[in-house]
């Protein structure tokens, strides 16, 4: 199976730690992810762990690579579904923002390796748009366009005034 995420060595902004991404089930699906460091967790009920990683102090392999690897392994049973791959990328984005990075990640911090058609299960048009929106938000619009071209999908399929990450098709 082709890996969808590679991360090049980049300077890291925190030493050994645990990072956990939580979500809630909302009326329209999962809510946006919220990342927490250490033993922090969201207040209230109804939250569930959607991704987690325990990162060591080691610089090799690079911390972002280990974070991406841990998040993909955590959700591996869904890694071929475009909707759930979009959630995994969104989780990664929430975590790297919590670590002090800005999105989209810059060249040298991380890169997206595209999936070929054989690398994904069939999905709905909205699932593909959501996945591509997350790739664009985290890795940049060029990465999303390259992924769309590889899958022969028109992206973006909707013209939206405020951009957006594909989460809300009505935007």
Within a domain: 167: no
9-18, 61-70, 78-87: range with lowest mean pLDDT: 9-18
Within a domain: 156: no
Within a domain: 23: yes
Domain span at 77: 5-151
* pLDDT over 60 (residue 61): no
Q: What is the pLDDT of residues 96-109, one digit of tens each?
A: 999 889 999 988 88
Within a domain: 66: yes
pLDDT of res. 14: 44
5 with 68: CB under 8 angstroms? yes
More confident residue, 170 or 69: 69
- Count the domains in the chain: 1
Buried (b) or exposed (e) across 41-66, using 16+ Cβ within 10 A?
eeeeeebeebbbbebeeeeeebbbbb
pTM over 0.85: no
Mean pLDDT of the chain: 79
Mean pLDDT within 126-143: 94
User: How far apart (Å, rounded) are the C-alpha atoms in residues 51 and 65?
Assistant: 15
Token pair belonging to 86: 């979009």
Please list the residues that pair with 100 across neighbouring strands.
none
My answer on whether omega of the bond before 104 falls inside 30° of 0, hence cis, is yes
pLDDT of res. 59: 55
Query: What's the distance, CA 32 to chain centroid?
Result: 11
Within a domain: 43: yes
User: How far apart (Å, rounded) are the C-alpha atoms in residues 99 and 64?
Assistant: 10
Within a domain: 96: yes
Within a domain: 159: no
Within a domain: 157: no
Mean pLDDT within 49-62: 72
């Amino acid at each position: 199976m082709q890996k969808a995420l590679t991360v090049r060595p980049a300077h890291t902004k925190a030493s050994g730690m645990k990072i956990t991404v939580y979500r809630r089930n909302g009326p329209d699906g999962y809510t946006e992810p919220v990342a927490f460091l250490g033993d922090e967790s969201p207040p209230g009920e109804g939250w569930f762990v959607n991704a987690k990683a325990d990162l060591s102090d080691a610089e090799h392999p690079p911390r972002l690579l280990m974070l991406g690897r841990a998040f993909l392994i955590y959700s591996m049973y869904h890694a071929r579904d475009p909707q759930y791959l979009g959630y995994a990328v969104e989780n990664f984005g929430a975590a790297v923002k919590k670590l002090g990075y800005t999105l989209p990640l810059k060249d040298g911090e991380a890169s997206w390796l595209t999936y070929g058609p054989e690398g994904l299960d069939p999905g709905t048009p909205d699932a593909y748009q959501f996945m591509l929106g997350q790739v664009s938000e985290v890795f940049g619009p060029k990465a999303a366009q390259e992924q769309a071209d590889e899958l022969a999908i028109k992206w973006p399929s909707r013209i939206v005034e405020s951009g957006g990450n594909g989460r809300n098709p009505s935007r």
